[in-house]
């Protein structure tokens, strides 16, 4: 990366931002979104839920502590591209093994720095989520405008199959023998979700999207985990049907983010695209059962439609988002089944919601 490499960001509404190229030279497309977290950029960039997103980081400095082997949520960078104010080509923490620039170059990820991200985020907050294009290899706005018309809308877009496992694999408890077997359906799982289960004595077997109920149940699980992931949940009819079958068995089920949305759809609820999604590590949630507040990590552009819950007497709302009163958690009455719209494994982020994994394990005991 040098100052001599210009880059351009073009939004779907025709707005143009100019800046400096970071990462690999090239072009990146996707839906533009912003994350309000002040730390944890490496965990964010490797979160499979961000697949297909051009991500704005609202904190001013990105890359300043480098890249670390134990701060990843998947094996690769998942964001489509990066937009930031200041991008550090070096790093300060001794535990780092390479710069973020080196990682972006190695994985062919494109980005743009020296952008007025405050102005950009204010623009998106008023105009809503939209597609965009970053390029450091083609600065012709007319050509980029034409290319932008070819980007699919996130509504109706299935993305989990791009990031979920294709094969079954196991994760064993970190200490001692396993107390419980958990079948995890992978829609784009973060590594820390698996870790939070193995820390609690669970033997986790991770299954791909194509798995059948018969294949999953051959593991003889005590309970089921529905993971996070990217894209529009309503574009996953096979997964919705599978989760409905899982729920009908009356065994414990815990869903997170996309897993939460698919659980809702399997019970007759509806989901909707948000004007702007929730992405950051500082989102306030109220637990309606305990009355307590939680500061949470979130990353989603779809949400369960509140009005669809009124028609389903079997569904109980357990958590709400205090900023906009959106649905943040549900449970099925008379079944050991619940889900949340945020990340209790919170990597990066606060640990306020880790109790949900304890709650899930307690249902396995029962």
Which positions are annotated as active-site residues? 257, 343, 345
Query: Which DSSP category does 152 fall into?
Result: P
Could you tell me which of 32, 19, 60, 12 has the C-alpha nearest to residue 125? Answer: 32
Residues 6+ apart with CB under 8 A from 34: 55, 56, 57, 58, 117, 120, 121, 124, 276, 279
Q: At what angle do helices 237-247 and 258-266 cross, to 10 degrees?
A: 70
DSSP 291: -
Q: Is 44 in a helix, a strand, or coil?
A: helix
Q: How far apart are CA 265 and CA 259, in angstroms?
A: 10
For residues 305 and 303, give the distance between their C-alpha atoms in angstroms, rounded to a whole number. Answer: 6
Look at residue 320 and give its three-state secondary structure: strand
Give which of 72, 355, 340 is closest to 225, Cα–Cα: 340
21 and 267 in contact (C-beta within 8 Å)? no
Measure the CA–CA gap between 263 and 193, rounded to whole angstroms.
17
Angle in degrees, CA 41, 43, 44, rounded to 5 = 60
How far from the centroid of its chain's Cα atoms is residue 74's Cα? Answer: 11
185 touches 163 (CB < 8 A)? no
CA angle 273, 277, 281 (to 5 degrees): 150
Residue pointed to by tokens 């405050």 = 118
Phi, psi of 356 (to 5 degrees): -65, -30
Residue corresponding to tokens 């950009």: 120
């Amino acid at each position: 990366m040098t100052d001599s490499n210009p880059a351009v960001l073009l939004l779907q509404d025709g707005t143009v931002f100019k800046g400096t190229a970071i990462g690999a030279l090239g072009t990146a497309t996707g839906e533009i979104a912003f994350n309000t977290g002040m730390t944890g950029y490496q965990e964010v960039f490797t979160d499979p839920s961000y697949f297909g997103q051009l991500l704005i980081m609202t904190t001013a400095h990105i890359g300043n502590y480098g890249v670390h082997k134990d701060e990843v949520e998947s094996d690769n960078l998942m964001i489509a591209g990066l937009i930031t104010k200041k991008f550090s080509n070096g790093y300060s923490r001794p535990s780092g093994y390479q710069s973020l620039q080196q990682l972006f170059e190695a994985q062919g990820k494109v980005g743009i720095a020296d952008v007025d991200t405050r102005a950009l985020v204010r623009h998106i907050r008023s105009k809503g989520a939209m597609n965009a294009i970053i390029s450091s290899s083609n600065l012709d706005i007319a050509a980029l405008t034409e290319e932008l018309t070819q980007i699919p809308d996130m509504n109706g877009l299935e993305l989990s199959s791009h990031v979920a496992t294709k094969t079954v694999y196991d994760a064993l408890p970190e200490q001692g023998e396993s107390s419980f077997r958990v079948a995890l359906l992978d829609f784009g799982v973060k590594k820390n979700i698996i870790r939070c289960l193995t820390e609690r004595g669970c033997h986790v077997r991770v299954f791909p999207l194509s798995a059948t109920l018969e294949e999953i149940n051959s593991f003889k699980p005590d309970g089921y985990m529905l993971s996070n992931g990217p894209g529009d949940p309503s574009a996953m009819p096979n997964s919705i049907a599978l989760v409905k079958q899982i729920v009908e068995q009356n065994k414990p089920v815990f869903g997170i983010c996309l897993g939460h949305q698919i659980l809702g759809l399997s019970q007759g609820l509806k989901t909707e695209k948000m004007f702007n999604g929730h992405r950051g590590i500082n989102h306030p949630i109220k637990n309606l059962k305990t009355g307590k507040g939680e500061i949470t990590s979130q990353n989603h552009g779809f949400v369960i439609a509140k009005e669809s819950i009124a028609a389903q007497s079997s569904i109980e709302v357990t958590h709400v988002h205090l900023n906009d009163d959106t649905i943040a958690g549900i449970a099925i009455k008379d079944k050991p089944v619940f889900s949340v719209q945020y990340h209790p494994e919170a990597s990066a982020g606060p640990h306020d919601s880790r109790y949900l994994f304890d709650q899930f394990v307690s249902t396995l005991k029962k």
